[in-house]
Structure 1
Amino acid sequence: MECEICKAIVSVLCGLLAEGVAKSVACDEACGTVCLIFVEDPIIYDICVVICIPSCDELLQLIISIGVATACGLGGEYLCQKAGLCC
């Protein structure tokens, strides 16, 4: 589940950064969007939020260090493996 959430975060985060959303609010917005798909199951939604914020912060730093265009071009699978969130 963590890997799937991670890939979803990358997808949304790259979209937000491409739109020029401030890095300071990008993770809050990304996690809100990603976890919304689980809103019908409050337990899974809560787990998503708990996993999402620290994972997103780590992914955001990784994306910034690589460069937004390059990192987002590499895709979620690569970035999530690099962050240790997918095997």
Structure 2
Amino acid sequence: MGLKRTDEFREDAVRIALTSGLTRKQVADGLGVGMSTLNKWITAYRDTDVVSKEDLGLAQENDRLRRENRILKEERDILKKATVFFASQKP
């Protein structure tokens, strides 16, 4: 029989899932719960005050910045490879 999770545990799990920057899989694995369980909790608590609008906004901005940073790093790596390639083509 599974361990009964407290409301506080569920709320903390939702807070972590929505604001930590970790994937839901990482959060679920880290907390020892299934993905479907975590997703069910997120659906149940998403529109409550478990996560303040400000914290949620900051988390969304962090996600956007992480994506932008990843793209910039990929572009930089491509430029580095191109520079090395073209430098090797000189007679």
- Which TM-score applies when normalising by structure 2? 0.34
Q: Higher relative contact order at CA 8 Å, sep ≥6: structure 1 or structure 2? A: 1
- Which TM-score applies when normalising by structure 1? 0.35
